[in-house]
Amino acid sequence: MSPDYEKALGRKIAFNRKRRGLSQKEFAALLDRSEAWFSQVERGVRRIDRMTVLEKVAEVLDLPVAELAAEAPVVASTTAEPPGASRLRLALSAAHSLRAILGEHEPPDLDKLREDVDRAWELTHEGNYADLAELLESLVPQAETAARSAPEADRPSLFRLLATVYHTCSAALTNMGEPEAAWIAVDRSVVAAERANDPLLMAAGEFRLSIVFLGARHYEQAAQASGSAADALEPLAASGDVEATALRGALTLQRAVAAGKNNQADAAYEFIRAAREMAKTVGPGRNDYNTEFGPANVDLYEVAVAVDLGDAGVALRAAERVDASGLSSERQTRFHLDVARAHAQRRQIGESVSSIRAAQRLSPEIVGAMPAVKQLVADLATMSQPPSDDLRSLVTELGVPGVRIGT
């Protein structure tokens, strides 16, 4: 490794350590190394010369090794699988479209189909993945069959429903840390939207795809997916189409997150400002293509981006003016978790635990399914000597591995 590489690696490690609110001493303890050794690594004066050590650093940072060394293999996740994940993967694995084309089918019950699609989104926003998986096991083949067996005049509307079904599947799988399966669902949604000749629904698919890329830590791909779709929508949005403006705004928020993840602060905050202008046009109370885009959602994203950039003060000040009451429980849950991360960066352990509890009251399923929450709780336990009773309870409830909760 060159000295320049070692310094760049040290800066990346230091940035991600600080973003989680850990001191050098605490982080070194997680690596079973001395504080002096770790300080030298961050300053770029000591080389990490073994892949096993680099893998351990990446594991503690909750980053792929590829982000620390482009030539290194990615470390596989060892988190427990959330309820419903395997069933959703299986629902995507069957040859539903082939069976729909070759089989004989009864005419679809369109009213029931639309009702089930709406219910799928409700379950997704609630984080009720077990019930969602059960519903989608039957809804996916039903929607595939309906779209391909209905009279030609009815097919565009049915392909729109099919695309929406796959959106719910993608959103749930992304939240559960299943980016590969989520990517499949998004791809099928875009194909269905194209069959429906619905460019806005195709753009909604790109919105979902950017979220998948973010979850998989492919930040450049997330920026490309969201940016190219947002640019494509610009003429339609400029013509006064409110739905196009809402989708373009939602995509711009994804661009902000991607920039924040890449530590591009100026770009990230500029995207937030641009999205806020679009939100003024869209106004409150809308939920175009289940993006929940509007002024309140922009405020929530400002908090999330500031936390990603390590700007805990900015995040907490922004959080004070947030009114998320009109948004889904999923968005409110994510907001509380972002606030918890901001408090963790400030080493405000009690406040961070309180925010996690607020998220848990809204959606225990989402909190339990997200690997990042377990990492946050593990960090809080590391900072806290000894951990509070409530923090020890969180460690136990969430099944956080590798954390000692004794007094």
Q: Which residue has the tokens 């949604």?
A: 189
pLDDT of residue 115: 95
Is 80 exceeded by the pLDDT of residue 342? yes
Nearest CA among 75, 74, 73, 70 for reference residue 1 = 70
What is the per-residue pLDDT across 262-293, written as a single tens digit (0 to 9) for each?
889 999 999 999 999 999 999 998 999 999 99
- pTM of this prediction? 0.78
Instruction: At 118, list the tokens.
Output: 């709406």
Asked if the model's pLDDT at residue 73 lies above 90, the reply is no
Kindly give the residue spans of alpha helices, DSSP state H, lying in 216-294.
Answer: 219-238, 242-261, 265-282
What residue spans of 216-241 are helical by DSSP H? 219-238
pLDDT of residue 51 exceeding 90? no
- The chain-wide mean pLDDT, for the chain, equals 87
What's the CA gap between 26 and 265, in Å, rounded?
27
* Structure-token match 């809080």, residue found: 380
Q: Are 371 and 79 in contact (CB under 8 A)?
A: yes
How confident is residue 77, by pLDDT bands cut at 50, 70 and 90?
Answer: very low
pLDDT band of 200, cuts 50, 70, 90: very high
Q: Report the distance separating Cα 75 and Cα 59, nearest Å.
A: 8
Length of the chain: 407
Count, in order, helices (H) and strands (E) of the chain: 22, 0
Contact 127/175 with Cβ under 8 angstroms?
Answer: yes
Cis peptide, bond prior to residue 179, ω within 30 of zero: no
Question: Alpha-carbon distance 329 to 334, whole Å?
Answer: 9
Q: What distance in Å separates the CA atoms of residue 113 and residue 138, rounded to the nearest whole number?
A: 11
